[in-house]
Amino acid sequence: MDSHLHLLGVRHHGPGSAALLVAALDRLDPAVVLIEGAPEGEALAPHVRGDGLKPPVAMLFYAPGEAKRAVFAPFAEFSPEWQAMRWALARGRPLRFIDWPASVSLAFTQKDEDAEAQRSDPLDLLAEAAGVANGEALWNTLVEESGGASDPVAAFAAIGEAMTEARRHAEESGAPAARRDAIREAFMRLSIRKALQDFGGAVVAIVGAWHIDGLRAKVSPTVDKATIKGLAKVKVEATWAPWTDSRLAFASGYGAGVVSPGWFRHLWRAYREETFEPLSFAAGWQARTATLLRAEGFAASPAAAIEAARLTLSLCGLRDLATPGLDEMRDGALAALCNGDPVPLRVVERRLYIGETIGEISGDAPQSPLARDLALWQKRVRLEPKDIESDIRLDLRTEAGLAKSTLLHRLLLLGVSWGTLIEADAGRGTFREIWRLSWRPEFSVALAEALIYGVTIEEAAGNIIRDRAAHCARVMDMAKIVRASLVADLPDAAGAAISALQALAVDASDLTDLMLAIAPLASALRYGVARRLPEEALRALVHALAVEVNAGVRIGSRQLAADVAAARVAAMRGFDEALAIFDAPDLVAGWRKALTLIVEDEQSAPAAAGFALRRLLDLGLWTAEAAAAAFVRRMSAAPLEAGAFLEHFVAGGAEILLQDAALLALVDAFIVDLDDDSFLAALPLLRRAFSGFDSTARIRLIDGVAQGRRTLSHAPAPEPEEDDPAFAAALPLLLRILGLEAAS
């Protein structure tokens, strides 16, 4: 390599590295600046100079139409590459990206990834020699938290030598070389040679410190060209995307992440001052700590913050450090601001150490049309993306609440789960929604992928509904599509989905599917006042489906397998609830008649009969005598059938047995009369039947049985003796059935 070349090894996100780099660039004044980055990013780099980007942001490279093929190149304001771009652009120097192209990296297959050797951190070797805990702590102490260096070029030379030795030691110890590194370094060496040919002055290449030795290696251009020849490629598009502090953190799984982005941002702002003053630096951090603690209700006075800063500097001296590190700041705050109690620090550590900043993209900085439309929506509805979970409550009767809800529902259709609906219809009326919001950078990929459906959120969401409706073959799934289109306020797309659902329902034969389809549609009708709904068409559709269910549910409930019967009962329960909110007396009357027929039909599946009888009792439509007769008839069946009936009969809660002594006596008699084999066969069903009861209800059931079978059946009997040997003998079995073994 040429003597005009200066290889500067950095950490990809480090304030000390960034400060050293800016000083080195000022000293070297290169003719061209080379950066370890995908060449497709060169077209995005000029926007770094203006005000359209507020880091953290990332270059997003993606393969159109393939959501899994995407890669981010994130930057914080304390990233050396970010500062290098700003330095070059401010001085009009050429800027080149020299890493392997994104078109190649995105084609690097999963098989290739799995074959890569997982190398250990080379800094750990240096840390072990220096007697430091780990490589992270060593690098932070020597570079990021050093307070700067008088000769930045010499500092980078020392970093290069240290990393070269660490890499050679790793290779000599038998660690296999990564194919990825070999390919990337071949691309970088070729780009460096090209820059040396094109420019006569100094050439500065800013790369990860690990690559210094590889780029210095004496490899011929012919070998490098052979290394990259024939590599698979994919078509790539590039744009800017917002990033977040949490995704810069190592805890997010980001390989080049840092432990504390919040701390590094504080360091970088200190390095930007003309002089680095340790007391002011420590006081600023502790003041922020105190502010966050007070916001959470903890006592943290300004005087305590000053004392924490002084204690931090004292610890720094005791530990022979030039400037305080994060550990010293934490220890100082723990002692002076928290009185040794770690709990207050844990409460604020997410905002303090990680940070909650989300980058912004505006002006003419390129981003996908959907991302730009989302930014306009966010301003319009005043819904700011945050890098921390937060809950919002929306009243759909207000214009602002409805607009927010519409946006969040449409984004869900696009695969952007910025909001998760955790509760609907909460509070008075039927017009409340509670959403849990948390923004993640990966949503930028989903927005880019959704471009095939449209360039605005409304257009893309509507086309997604149409596409799903065109490929949907199940009535239940189609009903969910209809509801999604309605709550997302997409009336045209909803009309198409309703038509598709009507066509499917004509040939539908699965009653379970039909019942499951009605629930989301009936629920959607409850929003009729708040949202634009094709209410007449939707109500007619629900009515037609419900009529078909009422007509066919009796015959359709005969001789069902156990798993099919369980699914059918769940659907029946949802259908029953849907009719209650649909407000159609004729349908309700038809449903109740169908429930009666199911109970009376000897061929009905025991699970369906159990649900039907319980529902009729809860509604007060059957007398206790009639219900008891039906109960006895069903419980006289084979043990497995009787157990299935009982499971779904008691599924509505324990009150029916607690309030009706006769029914409890019947259940008791059924269990007592089982022989050993029948009991073992029915035990799982019995346990499942009683598993929904809380502990209080179970204890009350035991107390009821303890009063004696004669008392439960209302037969006159003398007072039971204080000690009942028969009940004592049966008690362990009863506890086992009720799942109360521990109570014994």
- Joined together, the tokens standing for residue 501 give 């659902």
What are the angstrom distances between the C-alpha of 185 and each of 75, 178, 192, 224, 331? 22, 11, 10, 8, 42
30/400 Cα distance (integer angstroms): 54
- Joined together, the tokens standing for residue 353 give 């150490």
Short-list 121, 444, 60, 76, CA closest to 260: 76
Short-list 105, 183, 138, 163, CA closest to 14: 138
Residue 114 has pLDDT above 80, yes or no: no
- Joined together, the tokens standing for residue 368 give 């996908």
What are the angstrom distances between the C-alpha of 324 and each of 280, 305, 315, 644? 11, 15, 8, 68
pTM, two decimal places: 0.70
Q: Map residue 395 onto helix, strand or coil.
A: strand
50/132 Cα distance (integer angstroms): 41
Q: Would the CA dihedral through 567, 648, 619, 702 be positive or negative?
A: negative
Q: Which residue has the higher pLDDT, 693 or 36?
A: 36
What are the angstrom distances between the C-alpha of 550 and each of 40, 516, 519? 62, 14, 15
Q: List Cβ neighbours of 555 (8 Å cut-off, separation of 6 or more).
A: none
Cβ proximity of 243 and 45 under 8 Å: no
Compute φ and ψ for 623, nearest 5 degrees: -75, 160
pLDDT for residue 649:
80
pLDDT for residue 706:
67
Q: Could you report how far apart the first and last alpha carbons of the chain are, in Å?
A: 82
266/355 Cα distance (integer angstroms): 11
Mean pLDDT of 230-253: 87
pLDDT band at 387 (very low <50, low <70, confident <90, very high): confident
pLDDT for residue 595:
93
pLDDT band at 427 (very low <50, low <70, confident <90, very high): very low
pLDDT, tens only, 276-330: 788 888 999 999 999 999 999 999 999 999 999 999 999 988 988 878 888 899 9
Q: Which residue has the higher pLDDT, 657 or 397?
A: 397
Q: Would the CA dihedral through 610, 611, 616, 620 be positive or negative?
A: positive
pLDDT, tens only, 442-457: 888 888 888 888 889 9
Q: List Cβ neighbours of 273 (8 Å cut-off, separation of 6 or more).
A: none
711/720 Cα distance (integer angstroms): 9
Cβ proximity of 682 and 642 under 8 Å: yes
- Joined together, the tokens standing for residue 133 give 């805990």
pLDDT, tens only, 456-500: 999 999 999 999 999 998 888 888 898 899 889 898 898 899 888
pLDDT for residue 713:
41
483/462 Cα distance (integer angstroms): 13
259/710 Cα distance (integer angstroms): 71
Please count the helices (runs of H) and the strands (runs of E) in the chain. 35, 12
Residue 626 has pLDDT above 80, yes or no: yes
pLDDT, tens only, 327-349: 899 999 999 999 999 999 999 98
pLDDT for residue 737:
64
Place of tokens 């038998």: 174
Query: Using CB atoms within 10 A of its CB, is residue 80 exposed (0-12), middle (13-18) or buried (19+)?
Result: buried
pLDDT for residue 183:
93
Write 220-224 long-range contacts (CB < 8 A, 24+).
221/189, 221/190, 221/193, 223/186, 224/186, 224/187, 224/189, 224/190
Helices 661-672, 639-649: inter-axial angle, 10-degree rounding: 150
Strand order in the sheet with 66-75: 66-75, 57-63, 237-242
pLDDT band at 363 (very low <50, low <70, confident <90, very high): confident
Cβ proximity of 206 and 34 under 8 Å: yes
Question: DSSP H helical segments within 199-276, as ranges?
Answer: 212-216, 221-228, 245-248, 261-271
pLDDT for residue 184:
94
Write the DSSP assignment of 340-353 as a string of letters.
Answer: T-HHHHHHHHIIII
Residue 559 has pLDDT above 70, yes or no: yes
Query: Using CB atoms within 10 A of its CB, is residue 281 exposed (0-12), middle (13-18) or buried (19+)?
Result: buried
347/341 Cα distance (integer angstroms): 11
pLDDT band at 224 (very low <50, low <70, confident <90, very high): very high
- Measured in residues, the chain has a length of 744
Strand order in the sheet with 203-208: 5-10, 203-208, 32-35, 95-97
pLDDT for residue 357:
87
Q: List Cβ neighbours of 491 (8 Å cut-off, separation of 6 or more).
A: 532, 533, 534
pLDDT, tens only, 14-34: 888 899 999 999 999 999 999
395/431 Cα distance (integer angstroms): 6
31/610 Cα distance (integer angstroms): 84
3-state secondary structure 595-653: HHHHHHCCCECHHHHHHHHHHHHHCCCCCHHHHHHHHHHHHCCCHHHHHHHHHHHHHHC
Alpha-carbon Rg for the chain in angstroms: 35
pLDDT band at 272 (very low <50, low <70, confident <90, very high): confident
pLDDT for residue 315:
93
Average pLDDT, the chain: 83
Q: Which residue has the higher pLDDT, 145 or 489?
A: 489
Q: What percent of the chain has pLDDT over 90?
A: 35
Short-list 574, 720, 738, 581, CA closest to 668: 738
Q: Would the CA dihedral through 697, 698, 701, 706 be positive or negative?
A: negative
Residue 144 DSSP class = I
Short-list 109, 103, 104, CA closest to 235: 103
Residue 712 has pLDDT above 50, yes or no: no
> Which of 185-199, 417-431, 544-558, 639-653 is least confident?
417-431
Cβ proximity of 325 and 133 under 8 Å: no
Which range, 64-68, 367-371, 703-707, has the best average confidence (pLDDT)?
A: 367-371
Q: Which residue has the higher pLDDT, 699 or 576?
A: 576
Query: Using CB atoms within 10 A of its CB, is residue 722 exposed (0-12), middle (13-18) or buried (19+)?
Result: exposed
Mean pLDDT of 521-531: 68
Q: List Cβ neighbours of 223 (8 Å cut-off, separation of 6 or more).
A: 186
Alpha-carbon 260 to chain mean position:
21
Interior CA angle at 480 toward 478 and 483, to 5°? 115
- Joined together, the tokens standing for residue 249 give 């953190």
Question: DSSP H helical segments within 320-434, as ranges?
Answer: 326-336, 342-349, 369-381, 399-413
- Joined together, the tokens standing for residue 434 give 């509670």
Say which amino acid occupies 114. Answer: D
Do strands 203-208 and 5-10 pair parallel, antiparallel, or not at all (unpaired)? Answer: parallel
638/449 Cα distance (integer angstroms): 56
Which range, 140-149, 179-188, 441-450, 575-584, has the best average confidence (pLDDT)?
A: 179-188
Strand partners, 62: 70, 237
Q: Map residue 370 onto helix, strand or coil.
A: helix
Mean pLDDT of 519-541: 74
Mean pLDDT of 98-112: 81
pLDDT, tens only, 47-83: 998 888 999 999 999 888 776 688 889 999 999 999 9
- Joined together, the tokens standing for residue 242 give 């917002």
Cβ proximity of 672 and 721 under 8 Å: no
